[in-house]
């Protein structure tokens, strides 16, 4: 007899799941009955929040959902923060949990790990939460989850399975096949309307978000055909290569870039929320789109939020961009002037470069040292000063190589477990995996520090680059600027080198570019994690620009 838990593992294999993140417990052991004999690798974090962040990082590099097995009650309350980050950034995540037996649901009888309504708890950070009341419903509920991942705006999905359903006989479900769907194509009428407006634009501009990361090739061709400068959100870095003449970075919060956006007569926004944390990281307002706005998004609701469009199109970003290219070929040649396009983008980049202050230049030097030393590196960031700087100054040559938690939901402690998941998801074969660097501050690292032990256990050669300024410096500065006496920001800073070594990691401190470059090279030769600590004051003195 195959139980519902065993059949679940078989069905997940059919959907291409190769990793599961979770901590076994008395209420989830039946999920593990068939796991050892499967092709799925199990990764054990030290906290369920870490499981969620690992699944998030895995999904961002692999491009398919990260999967978690989570225990009833405290496991679900622990993972909701990670689900919130994934929900905010439209990251596919499948969270499968146990829950009380069907006859005990909502009973309030003081059962182990009992919550009054577990599904309601996570409903706000999930595309949907479903209680599986019969093993027979398992194939259809999984199909519904993967329909969200494949064809809609990808977000976390939660499926909870009562303890008595987990052990139901489900032999008859073993033959069930996965159900996959295709994403929505582009409707001809709005495509034609958009193409006509873009062809007639004298100063076209493209705003591309994380929803467009798989449309890189088509979007690059579209920008070149229109001679349209392209501004990328932080999650879209790499959609246009760093050196592309039309690429103007993720600088929509800066005055000079806002001036360029204001000059555009037609703006195409594709796969972007046009939300605060991408377009107003100073939180002072002032980002405006005076020109005619065209919006493309997989989510109908999102096409009319924040900035109302002249024309909206609900479609997959790749299919929509390809359709626009076809439609533009039937239009008169674009009328964009010679002073627009690459020429205007070059002037903007020169202004932005000149406006960088010394801390930004020093931190950018650190980030560029990583990219120069580690070819193809993936950089996963937390909320820390070098990440804020990199959001503005660093451009990538490919998508899925720069992402962080400093935008959207804005979770501290994200980077360490997410970087671990990113390495696990970065390629099918270990030999093909790019180096993954976790960029994190001393405050953020203390949120998820035990996950160093998880990385050591899983033999993930993660490189943790710790920017140490002995506290929550950014919040302290924010308090001072608002005439608030700093409280709670000067926290105790442990001996991170000693702690990392105690958790089985290599660890050292570096103080300049040469030392950092050598430490990165040595870290790449190790099978387990390495921590490289950089004291902010020491670095800024040694590397002023």
**Number of structural domains found in the chain:** 3
Asked whether residue 182 is domain-assigned, the answer is no
Task: For residue 94, count other CB atoms closer than 10 A to its CB.
Answer: 25
Q: Is residue 347 domain-shared with residue 362, that is, in the same domain?
A: no
Same domain assignment for residues 392 and 510: yes
- Helices 358-373 and 513-524: crossing angle in degrees, nearest 10, is 30
Count of residues in the chain? 545
- 345 and 482 in a single domain? The answer is no
In a domain, 238, yes or no: yes
Expressed as residue numbers, the domain containing 68 is: 4-173
In a domain, 183, yes or no: no
Whether the CB-CB separation of 179 and 148 falls below 8 Å is answered with no
Domain match, 367 and 473 both: yes
CATH number of the domain to which 347 belongs = 3.40.50.1220
- Specify burial of residue 292 (Cβ count, 10 A radius: 0-12, 13-18, 19+): middle
Q: In a structure prediction context, what are the per-residue pLDDT tens digits for the chain, which is 545 residues long?
A: 899 999 999 999 999 999 999 999 988 899 999 898 999 999 999 999 999 999 999 999 999 999 999 999 999 999 999 999 999 999 999 999 988 878 877 777 877 777 888 889 999 999 999 999 999 999 999 999 999 999 999 999 999 999 999 999 889 998 889 999 999 899 999 999 999 999 999 999 999 999 999 999 999 999 999 999 999 999 999 999 999 999 999 999 999 999 999 999 999 999 999 998 888 876 777 899 999 999 999 999 999 999 999 999 999 999 999 999 999 999 998 888 888 999 999 999 999 999 999 999 999 999 999 999 998 999 999 999 999 999 999 999 999 999 999 988 989 999 999 999 999 998 754 456 789 999 999 999 999 999 999 999 999 999 999 999 988 888 888 889 889 999 988 889 999 999 999 999 999 999 999 999 999 999 998 989 999 999 999 999 998 86
Residue 178 belongs to some domain of the structure: no
Q: Which residues are CB-neighbours of 198 under 8 A, at least 6 positions away?
A: 204, 226, 228, 266, 268, 294, 324, 328, 334
C-alpha dist (Å) from residue 163 to 5, 106, 168: 10, 14, 9
Looking at residue 432, its pLDDT comes to 63
Q: 377 and 448 share a domain?
A: yes
In a domain, 50, yes or no: yes
Q: Are residues 305 and 392 in the same domain?
A: no
Do 486 and 523 belong together in one domain? yes
Q: Which two tokens stand for residue 261?
A: 């956006």
pLDDT at position 428: 54
Rounded distance, CA 114 to CA 388, Å? 40
- The pLDDT assigned to 430 comes to 46
Tokens of 278: 């991408």
What Rg value do the Cα atoms of the chain yield, rounded? Answer: 24
Residues 322 and 360 reside in one and the same domain? no
Residues 140 and 273 in one domain: no
Phi, psi of 379 (to 5 degrees): -110, 120
**Domain boundary residue, one of 337, 352, 367:** 352
Closest CA to 328 of 485, 237, 192: 192
Q: Report the CATH number that the domain containing residue 391 is assigned in CATH.
A: 3.40.50.970
Decide if 228 contacts 268 (C-beta within 8 A).
Answer: yes
Residue 181 lies in a domain: no
The CA distances from residue 23 to 26, 48, 49, 70, 488, in Å, are: 10, 7, 11, 7, 32
pTM for this model (two decimals):
0.95
In a domain, 180, yes or no: no
Which of 173, 202, 223 terminates a domain? The answer is 173
Report yes or no on 370 lying in a domain. yes
Which of 300, 327, 352 lies at the terminal end of a domain, its last residue? 352
If asked whether residues 262 and 400 sit together in one domain, one would say: no
Residues 6+ apart with CB under 8 A from 532: 463, 464, 465, 466, 507, 508, 509, 510, 516, 519, 520, 523
Query: Helix 188-200 to helix 317-329 angle, to the nearest 10 degrees?
Result: 60
Q: What is the 3-state secondary structure (H, E, C) of 448-491?
A: HCCHHHHHHHCCCCCEEEEEECCCCHHHHHHHHHCCCCCCCCCC
523 and 469 within one domain: yes
* Residues 214, 278 within the same domain: yes
């Amino acid at each position: 007899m195959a139980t519902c838990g065993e059949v679940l593992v078989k069905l997940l294999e059919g959907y291409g799941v190769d990793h599961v993140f979770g901590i076994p417990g008395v209420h989830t052991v039946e999920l593990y009955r068939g796991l050892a004999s499967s092709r799925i690798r199990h990764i054990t974090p030290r906290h369920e929040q870490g499981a969620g962040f690992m699944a998030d990082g895995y999904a961002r590099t692999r491009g398919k959902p990260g999967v978690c097995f989570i225990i009833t009650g405290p496991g679900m309350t622990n993972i909701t923060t990670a689900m919130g980050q994934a929900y905010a950034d439209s990251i596919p995540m499948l969270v499968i949990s146990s829950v009380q037996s069907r006859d005990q649901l909502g009973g309030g009888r003081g059962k182990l790990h009992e919550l009054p309504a577990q599904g309601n708890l996570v409903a706000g950070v999930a595309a949907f939460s479903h209680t599986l009341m019969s093993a027979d419903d398992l194939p259809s509920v999984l199909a519904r989850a993967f329909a969200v991942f494949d064809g809609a705006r990808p977000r976390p999905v939660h499926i909870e399975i009562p303890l008595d359903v987990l052990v139901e006989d489900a032999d008859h479900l073993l033959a069930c096949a996965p159900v996959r769907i295709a994403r929505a194509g582009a409707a001809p009428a709005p495509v034609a309307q958009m193409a006509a407006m873009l062809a007639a634009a004298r100063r076209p501009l493209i705003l591309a978000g994380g929803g467009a990361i798989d449309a890189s090739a088509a979007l690059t061709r579209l920008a070149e055909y229109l001679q349209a400068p392209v501004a990328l959100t932080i999650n879209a870095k790499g959609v246009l290569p760093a050196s592309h003449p039309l690429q103007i970075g993720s600088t929509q919060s800066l005055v000079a870039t806002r001036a360029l956006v204001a000059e555009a007569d037609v703006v195409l926004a594709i796969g972007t929320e046009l939300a605060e944390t991408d377009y107003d990281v100073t939180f002072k307002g002032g980002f405006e789109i005076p020109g005619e706005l065209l919006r493309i998004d997989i989510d109908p609701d999102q096409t009319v939020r924040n900035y109302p469009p002249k024309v909206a199109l609900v479609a997959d970003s790749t299919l929509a961009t390809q359709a626009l290219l076809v439609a533009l070929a039937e239009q008169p040649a674009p009328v964009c002037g010679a002073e627009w396009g690459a020429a205007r983008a070059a002037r903007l980049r020169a202004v932005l470069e000149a406006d960088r202050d010394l801390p930004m230049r020093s931190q950018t030097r650190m980030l560029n040292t990583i990219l120069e030393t580690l070819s193809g590196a993936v950089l996963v960031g937390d909320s820390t000063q070098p990440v804020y700087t990199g959001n503005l100054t660093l451009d990538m040559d490919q998508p899925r190589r720069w992402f962080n938690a400093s935008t959207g939901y804005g979770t501290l402690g994200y980077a360490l477990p997410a970087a671990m998941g990113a390495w696990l998801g970065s390629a099918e074969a270990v030999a093909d995996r790019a180096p993954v660097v976790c960029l994190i501050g001393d405050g953020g690292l203390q949120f998820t520090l035990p996950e160093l032990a998880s990385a050591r256990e899983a033999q993930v050669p993660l490189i943790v680059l710790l920017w140490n300024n002995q506290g929550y410096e950014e919040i302290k500065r924010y308090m001072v600027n608002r005439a608030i006496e700093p409280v709670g920001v000067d926290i105790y800073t442990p001996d991170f080198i000693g702690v990392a070594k105690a958790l089985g990691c290599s660890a050292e401190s570096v103080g300049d570019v040469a030392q950092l470059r050598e430490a990165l090279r040595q870290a790449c030769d190790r099978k387990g994690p390495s921590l490289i600590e950089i004291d902010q004051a020491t670095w800024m003195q040694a590397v002023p620009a």
